Amino acid sequence: MLLRLVTRYSPLITRYSSLVTKKKMLICKVLGNVVATLKHPAYEGHKVLVVQPLDQEQKPTGSSFLAVDFVQAGEGDTVLVAPEGNAARQLFGDDSAPVHSVITAIVDQINCSG
């Protein structure tokens, strides 16, 4: 299957559709944000959002989870998420950052064929 993403803002990644189809990146919908009065210093200056994975038909699949926002996403946006800690820690520049998932792009359009 060929998957092509069109994003409006993605300075952190190039459009690697193979990463999405290999489950190294997820297409998700932002459900809302998390407010915390006390948080780890690594989270300073970043929003934490609740995201819901989407399937190929852009329907919810699986459980929602938390992701740190690097692209100014908001509720209702379709986003590209790196759901593994190594990518997250690289973006933070801190190997000890307690981060599992990061939002790396806001998706404007998805074209599937195959």
- Say whether pLDDT at 70 is over 60: yes
H helix runs in the chain, sequence order: 17-21, 85-92
Helix (H, G, I), strand (E, B) or coil at 51: strand
Instruction: Tell me the per-residue pLDDT of 25-61, one tens digit each, with 9 for 90 and over.
Output: 899 999 999 998 888 887 888 899 999 999 888 899 9
Which CATH number fits the domain that encloses residue 93?
A: 2.40.50.220
Query: Structural domain of residue 31, as residue ranges?
Result: 2-113
Between these two residues, 10 and 72, which has the higher pLDDT value?
A: 72
Nearest to 103 by CA among 46, 60, 56, 59: 46
Number of structural domains in the chain: 1
